[in-house]
């Protein structure tokens, strides 16, 4: 220290004796006197060393007197009760129970097709007609016979009521009339099979057989495919471990990757059978399809709400550590004073389900406690910390 001061004093004396007033660096550079420039550089370097020494001295005093400089700086999360919903992520397929192939019920030529592909039809609407092979003529003959049998029976009945004729004649007339009526009904039933009608309201998705084709119920050739897109559902296989959580009425979020569209729905039906192959049960999720964009066999990603808690304590998963015994713990800021000074305490916790980056704490943390966030990995048990905002 003494040598440094001596050098500085000598420098000032040399400058003052040689050139008069102390010159600035800019002036010396402008004059171009190399010896003067070197001397100025040495002077500034000695001043810098003196200042650095003084700064180190001041730092050492501050470290001794300011105890707060040794405190760990942390941020905290004040816990509170909030709503927590856990969703089960699964994949399913869009289905409809009204997607059927329509087969003919009798042999014959398809004499007339009344609909086209893509056409909307109502339940019971006539779609096509099959040649009845003269069955309609036979039905007319049976109706004529039925009319005669009815007249005969009615007359015989009036005679019998007047005690005219024998009972056997009356019974024969009644039996004959009933037999012919049954024949008419049977013929009408058979003739009705020549008309192919829509079993439900929907859209003709495919006309499989063209007009003039010979059709038969024996060869298994369908005539139409009809689909109803208003009654759609997603079918999902849910693991049996979630049997208690997935119930009818549970909220569901469904996303269709192909369409880039999402819907919110509910579970409308759960299966009562566990599939032994994959240990799962079937779940049906109602699908509103106002625009008819959703088609059968479309893939869907679903999230089923299997657990809810309106008073849950949630913390980020990244705050949780684990000790050698496998216990999970976090650090809690306790004894917080008015200057935001606190003491770090290790708290053993038990966690439940996770959703995204957060996990539910089911034991170990109460509402209103301050969980240490930033700086949690650097604190120790009972260490004093400074909470920063």
What are the residues whose beta carbons fall under 8 Å from the beta carbon of 133, sequence distance 6 or more? 108
pTM above the 0.85 mark?
no
Strand-pairing partners, residue 96, are 232
Distances from the Cα of 89 to the Cα of 130, 184, 244, 276, angstroms: 50, 60, 16, 21
Band of pLDDT at residue 18, cut at 50, 70 and 90: very low
Q: Could you tell me which residues are beta bridge partners of residue 215?
A: 108
pLDDT value at residue 7: 44
Residue 262 corresponds to which tokens in the numbers above? 């999402």
Residues 6+ apart with CB under 8 A from 277: none
Average pLDDT for 123-134: 88
Q: Please, which residues bridge with residue 370 across strands?
A: 78, 333
* Tokens 């299966």, located at residue: 271
pLDDT, average across residues 58-84: 77
- Mean of pLDDT values over 331-346: 89
pLDDT given for residue 97 in this prediction: 83
How far apart are alpha carbons 197 and 212 in whole angstroms? 18
Find all residues with CB under 8 Å of 344, minimum gap 6, and list them.
72, 74, 331, 332, 333, 334, 372, 379, 380, 381, 382, 383, 384, 385
Complete DSSP assignment for 258-324: TTTEEEEEEEEEE-S--BTTTTEEEEEEEE--TTS---TT-EEEEEEEEEEEEEEEEEEGGG-EE-T
pLDDT of 87 reads 92
pLDDT category of residue 270 using cuts at 50, 70 and 90: very high
The pLDDT of residue 3 is: 45
How far apart (Å, rounded) are the C-alpha atoms in residues 217 and 209? 13
The predicted pLDDT at position 377 comes to 85
Confidence of residue 26 (pLDDT cuts 50, 70, 90): confident
Q: DSSP class of residue 162?
A: T
What mean pLDDT, rounded, does the chain reach? 85
> In the prediction, which pLDDT does 68 show?
54
């Amino acid at each position: 220290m003494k040598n440094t001061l001596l050098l500085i004093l000598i420098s000032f004396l040399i400058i003052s004796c040689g050139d008069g007033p102390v010159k600035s660096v800019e002036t010396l550079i402008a004059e171009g006197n190399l010896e003067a420039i070197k001397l100025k550089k040495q002077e500034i370097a000695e001043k810098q060393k003196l200042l650095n020494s003084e700064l180190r001295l001041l730092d050492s005093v501050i470290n001794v007197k300011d105890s707060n400089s040794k405190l760990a700086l942390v941020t905290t999360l004040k816990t509170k009760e909030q709503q927590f919903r856990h969703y089960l992520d699964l994949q399913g397929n869009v289905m409809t129970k009204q997607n059927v192939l329509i087969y003919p019920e009798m042999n014959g030529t398809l004499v007339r097709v009344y609909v086209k592909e893509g056409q909307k039809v109502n339940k019971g609407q006539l779609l096509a007609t099959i040649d009845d092979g003269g069955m309609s003529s036979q039905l007319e003959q049976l109706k004529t016979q039925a009319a005669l049998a009815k007249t005969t029976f009615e007359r015989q009945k009036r005679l019998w009521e007047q005690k005219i004729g024998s009972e056997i004649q009356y019974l024969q007339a009644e039996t004959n009339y009933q037999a012919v009526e049954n024949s008419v009904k049977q013929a009408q039933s058979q003739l009705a099979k020549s008309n192919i009608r829509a079993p439900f309201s929907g859209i003709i998705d495919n006309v499989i057989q063209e007009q003039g084709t010979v059709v038969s119920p024996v060869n298994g050739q369908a005539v139409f495919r009809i689909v109803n897109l208003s009654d759609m559902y997603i079918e999902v296989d849910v693991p049996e471990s979630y049997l208690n959580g997935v119930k009818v009425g549970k909220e569901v979020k469904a996303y269709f990757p192909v369409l880039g569209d999402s819907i919110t729905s509910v579970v409308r039906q759960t299966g009562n059978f566990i599939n032994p192959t994959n240990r799962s049960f079937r779940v049906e999720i109602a699908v509103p399809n106002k625009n008819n964009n959703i088609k059968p066999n479309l893939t869907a990603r679903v999230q089923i709400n299997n657990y809810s808690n309106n008073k849950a304590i949630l913390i980020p998963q990244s705050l949780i550590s684990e000790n050698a015994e496998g216990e999970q713990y976090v650090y809690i800021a306790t004894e917080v004073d008015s200057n935001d000074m606190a003491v770090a305490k290790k708290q053993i916790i038990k966690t439940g389900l996770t959703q995204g980056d957060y996990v539910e704490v089911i034991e170990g943390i109460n509402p209103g406690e301050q969980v240490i966030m930033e700086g949690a990995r650097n604190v120790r048990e009972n260490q004093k910390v400074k909470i920063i905002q």
